[in-house]
Homo-oligomer: A and B are copies of this chain.
Amino acid sequence: MANKKKTTIKDIANVLGITPSAVSKALNDHPRISDKTKAAVLQIAKNLDYQPNHLASALRKGKSNLVGVIIPKANSHFFSSIIEKIEDVLNAKGYNVIIAQSNESYEKECKSIDALLYTQVDGIIASMANETVKLDYYEKIKSKGIPLILFDRGENDLNVDYVGIDDYLSSQMVIEHLVAQGCKRIAHIAGFSHTRIYKNRIRGYRDALEKFGLPIEDSLIVESNLRIEDGRKIMKQLLELKDRPDAVYAAGDYAALGALQIMQEHNIDVPNDIALVGFSNEPFTSLVTPSLSSVEQHSEQIGQIAAETLLKRIETNNKNVSLNKLILQPELIKRASSRKLQ
């Protein structure tokens, strides 16, 4: 119960009658230390249940071996699987991961950044909150020379490494698929266009419609936070149009789910009356009825690449490596909600 005093390098040194510095070197497998001493040190370390003091070594080395990850919300398969992968990669290299949730709030995001900087993380991997427009806090990270990698929700202006999917292409694929199903009036439940990824999805949607000679109407494009309630509200709006859409492409699965609910409440046949496609391929998409078509973003890959890119930055002291923008191919998962012609 009582906090026993911890074993230090010095204790080991005393037992063996050598200096702490020799012990330190033995533990770090320094080439100039004899195998005999190394073995002895290891033995005593084990006997005394020695645990290195990370704080002391971090201070001395000027490196905390801590990495911060900022995400909007862990509560989605997309982000939680990215985190899992990031942890895998970084843990293997001796780094620990601190996760901070912004809850889509700019203020919380700033606080998290401050907290991470204060904790002296060696690097930060982040996906920006929906709310975030000002980039001052991210500039702060950069100005301190701390490696920063963005994923999914990034900003070009920041000029930092980025991993994400080709959002423009995603929209193209979705529209192409819906057109193939015979849809002619396709609405878009969009994310806020001030966020790059959502802007690109909107662009892709518009360009694809144009390519297929379909109408582009402002009433068919509604921006929101893409939560379930947003999907519900917007779908209601869409149903009130005198000229209803025959397909809905939502830039997020939760919004798509909300839309689906409303359609079911209105006894609309999905996909035959209105087809529906979501985004992110959250696990629930395959579970609802009808199952939801969605865009798979290969989250594990994103996590892996983000982590590896960060490691490279850290190892090269954030220099010499040219800017890395990695855009992965999305994959459209076609399910019942958009398959009219069986």
Contacts and interface: CB of A to CB of B under 8 A. Distances in A.
Given A1-B319, A58-B55, A145-B1, A98 B98 contact: yes
A59 B51 contact: no
Interface string A216-241: 00000000000010000000000000
Given A75-B77, A77-B75, A3 B145 contact: yes
When all copies of this chain in the complex are counted, the total is 2
Q: Secondary structure at chain A's binding surface: helix, strand, loop or mixed? A: mixed
A77 B101 CA distance: 13
A74 B64 contact: no
A136 to B, nearest CB: 13
Interface stretch (A83-91, A177-185, A194-202, A331-339): A83-91
A328 B168 CA distance: 48
A283 B258 CA distance: 12
B55 A55 contact: yes
A257 B282 CA distance: 15
Given A55-B59, A287-B288, 14 more contacts: A1-B318, A2-B145, A51-B118, A53-B120, A59-B59, A75-B75, A75-B76, A91-B115, A96-B98, A96-B115, A96-B118, A97-B98, A98-B99, A257-B287
A327 B291 CA distance: 38
A117 B100 CA distance: 20
Q: What 9 pairs between A and B have smallest CB-CB spacing?
A: A74-B74, A75-B80, A3-B145, A99-B99, A55-B59, A74-B80, A55-B58, A98-B98, A96-B115
Nearest to A257: B287
Interface size class of A (residues with CB under 8 A): 35 or more
A66 interface: yes
A144 B49 CA distance: 10
A325 interface: no
A264 interface: yes
Contacts of A74: 74-75, 80, 83, 99
B288 A118 contact: no
Contact of A103 (B84, B99, B283): B84
Contact of A59 (B56, B73, B318): B56
A72 to B, nearest CB: 11
B76 A119 contact: no
A284 interface: yes
25 contacts: A2-B145, A3-B144, A51-B118, A53-B120, A54-B120, A55-B58, A59-B59, A66-B119, A74-B74, A74-B80, A74-B99, A75-B76, A75-B80, A80-B101, A83-B101, A87-B101, A91-B115, A96-B98, A96-B115, A96-B116, A98-B98, A99-B99, A257-B287, A288-B288, A288-B289
